[in-house]
Structure formats: structure tokens, C-alpha cells
């Protein structure tokens, strides 16, 4: 296992997605990268050593090849990297996608359909990785439910 220090938020988009996702913007200190394979994702994680990993699967269809790759990334990251919070962003409340992500090791699944969902996700991620002040423990709040 790799022990990763509490550093930046790393947002991973599927290989075909445009870097510059609605989740990352100039006001957030997040790194945004594309990964088409498990190896790509692990290389980005090793290079950037994030404290929080955000996987954006909001444009993927459950059961597609790209979705399967994203689920393998989550599984391998959970298996190989200790102490890393893994947040999965889905398009909507999709029980199949959420179950697949959580079974593979995601800390939390957040539906981000619409601007309000993305704002809530950014707020949740900022709570895990504050820019200033003391580091907080990795992982979702004790209830497992995103803050409101």
C-alpha cells in the first residue's frame, strides 16, 4: 500500500471528457486530469499525491466500457492507496451506479445533476479538504451523508 499525505484534490475525468469540468474552476485549488485506464489514474495519483480523489462519472452510462474502467479505478485505488477519500460524482441518483461505486471502495457517491448538485458536491469536497486551517480526517462525515 502507498501512504499518501493530505495534499490537493485530484479530479479525474473519463478519457473522452474535456478537462475543465464544471466541478473544477479557478477558485478551487483542484487538479483536473483525464484517465482512460487504471494505469493512467494510478500514475496521476502517484504524481500528485492527493488527499481527496474525485471521480466524475456523471457522463457515463452504467454498464458501459468507460463506466467499467472507472469502477476498476476505484477498486484499485482503494486496494493500493491507504487513507484516500474517494468521491464519485454521478449524473443523478442512480442506485446501480452508487452501489457499484461503493462496493468498489468509494467513500461517498454524490449525484450532481444540475448546478445545485455541483455546488453541493464542491461544498462537500471543500469540507474534506479545507484550503486553510488544520487538516481534517480523511473520509466522509460519520453519518456517511454529505453535509447540507
Contacts of 6 (CB under 8 A, 6+ apart): 51, 129, 135, 138
Cell numbers that stand for 146 in this block: 454529505
Question: What is residue 75's predicted lDDT score, i.e. its pLDDT?
Answer: 93
Residue of higher predicted confidence among 107 and 6: 107
CA atoms lying within 13 Å on the CB side of residue 11: 24
Is residue 2's pLDDT more than 70? Answer: no
Contact 30, 8 (CB under 8 A): yes
Domains and CATH numbers, the chain: 7-128 (3.40.50.2300)
User: Model pTM greater than 0.85?
Assistant: no
Would you mind telling me the total number of residues written for the chain in this entry? 148
What average pLDDT does the structure give for the chain?
74
Percent of the chain residues topping a pLDDT of 70: 69
Amino acid at each position: 500500500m502507498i501512504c499518501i499525505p493530505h495534499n490537493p484534490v485530484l479530479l479525474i475525468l473519463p478519457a473522452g471528457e474535456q478537462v475543465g469540468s464544471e466541478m473544477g474552476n479557478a477558485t478551487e485549488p483542484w487538479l483536473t486530469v483525464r484517465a482512460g485506464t487504471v494505469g493512467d489514474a494510478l500514475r496521476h495519483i502517484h504524481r500528485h499525491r492527493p488527499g481527496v480523489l474525485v471521480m466524475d462519472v456523471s457522463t457515463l452510462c452504467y454498464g458501459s466500457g468507460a463506466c467499467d474502467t472507472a469502477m476498476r479505478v476505484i477498486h484499485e485505488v482503494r486496494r493500493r492507496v491507504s487513507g484516500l477519500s474517494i468521491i464519485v460524482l454521478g449524473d443523478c441518483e442512480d442506485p446501480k451506479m452508487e452501489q457499484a461505486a461503493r462496493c468498489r471502495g468509494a467513500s461517498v457517491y454524490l449525484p450532481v445533476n444540475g448546478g445545485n448538485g455541483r455546488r453541493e458536491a464542491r461544498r462537500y469536497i471543500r469540507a474534506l479538504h479545507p484550503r486553510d486551517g488544520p487538516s481534517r480526517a480523511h473520509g466522509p462525515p460519520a453519518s456517511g451523508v454529505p453535509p447540507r
